[in-house]
Structure 1
Amino acid sequence: MSNRVLIVSPHFPPINAPDHQRVRMSLAYFEKFGWEPHVLAVEADYVEGIQDPLLIKTIPCSVPVTYTKALPVQQTKRIGMGSLGLRSFPYLLRAGNDLLRKKDFDLVYFSTTIFTSMALGLLWYRRFNIPYVLDFQDPWLSDYYRKTGVTPPGGHFKYELAQLEAKFLEPKVLSKVSHVISVSPAYPETLQQRYPNLRSDQFSILPFGASESDFELLPSLQVKQTIFDPKDGKRHWVYVGRGGDDMANSLRILFLGIQTERQRNPELWQSVHMHFVGTSYAQGNRAVKTVEPIAQKLGVGDLVTEHPHRIPYFEALQVLSDSDAILMIGSDDPSYTASKLYPCVLARKPILAIFHQLSSVVNILHSCQAGQAVTFASSDQPQKLLPEIITQLNWLISIPKGFQPQTNWSAFEPYTAKAMTSQQCAIFNQCFVTSNKSKSL
Structure 2
Amino acid sequence: MLKVNGQAGSATIATDRAATKAPLPRVLYLSFFFPPSRASGVFRGRATANHLAQAGWDVTVVTAPRDFFGYYLDGASDESLEATVDSRVNVVRPKMITYHWERDVRRFGVFRGTFPTLSDKLYRRVQNWIFPEYYLGWAPGVIRKSLALHRERHFDLVIATGNPFVSFALARWLGRRLKIPYVVDYRDSWTYNQFTDELLFPEDGKVMRWESRIVRDAAEIVFVNDVMRQWAADRYPFAVDRMTVVRNGWDPDVLGQVPHAPADPDRPLRFGYLGTVTGALPLDVLFEGWRRARGHPLLAGAELNVYGHLGFFPHSAGPLRSRLQREQDAGVRYHGAFSKTEAAKIYGQTDALVFCPGGTRYVTSAKIFEYMATGKPIASVHAPGIAAEEVLRGYPLWSAAARLDADHAAEALIAAARAAREAGPAEHEAAQRHAERFTRDAALAPWEARLRAMVEVAR
Q: TM-score, length-normalised on structure 2?
A: 0.75
Specify the SS of the correspondent of 1:358: coil
Tell me if the contact between 1:112 and 1:135 (Cα under 8 Å) persists in the aligned partners.
Answer: yes
Specify the SS of the correspondent of 1:5: strand
The structure-2 alpha-carbon separation of the partners of 1:286 and 1:33, relative to structure 1 and needing over 3 Å to count, comes to closer
Partner in structure 2 of residue 90 of structure 1: 140
> Displacement of 1:290 after TM fit?
4.6
Partner in structure 1 of residue 220 of structure 2: 179
Partner in structure 1 of residue 290 of structure 2: 258
Specify the SS of the correspondent of 1:110: strand
Partner in structure 2 of residue 302 of structure 1: 330
The one-character-per-residue Cα deviations of 1:382-431 (angstroms, maximum 9, x if unpaired) are 16736842651451564489998233544433321222221221231343
Partner in structure 1 of residue 31 of structure 2: 9
Q: Out of 214, 231, 236, which is 2:254 matched to?
A: 214
Q: Which amino acid aligns with 1:94?
A: R
Partner in structure 2 of residue 236 of structure 1: 270
Specify the SS of the correspondent of 1:65: strand
Tell me if the contact between 1:349 and 1:403 (Cα under 8 Å) persists in the aligned partners.
Answer: no
The one-character-per-residue Cα deviations of 1:365-391 (angstroms, maximum 9, x if unpaired) are 33343x313154xxx451673684265
Q: Which amino acid aligns with 2:290?
A: I
Alignment of 1:376-391 (within 5 A): 376=402, 380=403, 382=405, 385=408, 388-389=411-412, 391=414
Q: Does 1:274 align with 2:341?
A: no
Alignment of 1:368-383 (within 5 A): 368-369=395-396, 371-376=397-402, 380=403, 382=405
Structure 2 unaligned segments of length 5 or more: list them: 1-21, 104-115, 128-132, 259-263
CA distance in 2, matches of 1:260, 1:291: 22
Specify the SS of the correspondent of 2:281: helix
The one-character-per-residue Cα deviations of 1:339-369 (angstroms, maximum 9, x if unpaired) are 0122223334332223444334223233343
The one-character-per-residue Cα deviations of 1:70-121 (angstroms, maximum 9, x if unpaired) are 1236864574989762231211121112122322211111123211121001
Q: Which amino acid aligns with 1:142?
A: Y
Q: TM-score, length-normalised on structure 1?
A: 0.78
Q: Does 1:170 align with 2:211?
A: yes
Tell me if the contact between 2:192 and 2:198 (Cα under 8 Å) persists in the aligned partners.
Answer: no
The structure-2 alpha-carbon separation of the partners of 1:411 and 1:270, relative to structure 1 and needing over 3 Å to count, comes to closer
CA distance in 1, matches of 2:379, 2:413: 12
The structure-2 alpha-carbon separation of the partners of 1:252 and 1:405, relative to structure 1 and needing over 3 Å to count, comes to farther
Tell me if the contact between 2:36 and 2:81 (Cα under 8 Å) persists in the aligned partners.
Answer: yes
CA distance in 1, matches of 2:257, 2:145: 33
Q: Does 1:121 align with 2:171?
A: yes
CA distance in 2, matches of 1:403, 1:351: 16
RMSD: 3.7
Identity of aligned residues (%): 19
CA distance in 2, matches of 1:402, 1:289: 41
Specify the SS of the correspondent of 2:63: strand
Q: Does 1:406 align with 2:429?
A: yes
CA distance in 1, matches of 2:306, 2:346: 11
Q: Which amino acid aligns with 2:249?
A: G
Q: Does 1:67 align with 2:108?
A: no
The one-character-per-residue Cα deviations of 1:206-237 (angstroms, maximum 9, x if unpaired) are 1113211112499xxxxxxxxxxx9x955332
> Displacement of 1:175 after TM fit?
2.2
Between 33-42 and 178-187, report the one with greater CA deviation: 33-42
Structure 1 unaligned segments of length 5 or more: list them: 150-158, 219-229, 437-441
Tell me if the contact between 1:258 and 1:300 (Cα under 8 Å) persists in the aligned partners.
Answer: no
> Displacement of 1:433 after TM fit?
4.7
CA distance in 1, matches of 2:312, 2:406: 32
Q: Which amino acid aligns with 2:350?
A: S
The structure-2 alpha-carbon separation of the partners of 1:387 and 1:424, relative to structure 1 and needing over 3 Å to count, comes to same
Specify the SS of the correspondent of 1:104: coil
Tell me if the contact between 2:227 and 2:387 (Cα under 8 Å) persists in the aligned partners.
Answer: no
Tell me if the contact between 2:161 and 2:167 (Cα under 8 Å) persists in the aligned partners.
Answer: no
Considering only CA atoms, is the larger Rg found in Structure 1 or Structure 2?
2
Specify the SS of the correspondent of 1:133: strand
Q: Which amino acid aligns with 1:327?
A: V
Number of equivalences: 403
> Displacement of 1:197 after TM fit?
1.8
Q: Does 1:333 align with 2:360?
A: yes
The structure-2 alpha-carbon separation of the partners of 1:405 and 1:352, relative to structure 1 and needing over 3 Å to count, comes to farther
> Displacement of 1:16 after TM fit?
1.8
Tell me if the contact between 2:355 and 2:380 (Cα under 8 Å) persists in the aligned partners.
Answer: yes
> Displacement of 1:180 after TM fit?
1.1
CA distance in 1, matches of 2:97, 2:446: 36
Specify the SS of the correspondent of 2:170: helix
Q: Does 1:58 align with 2:88?
A: no
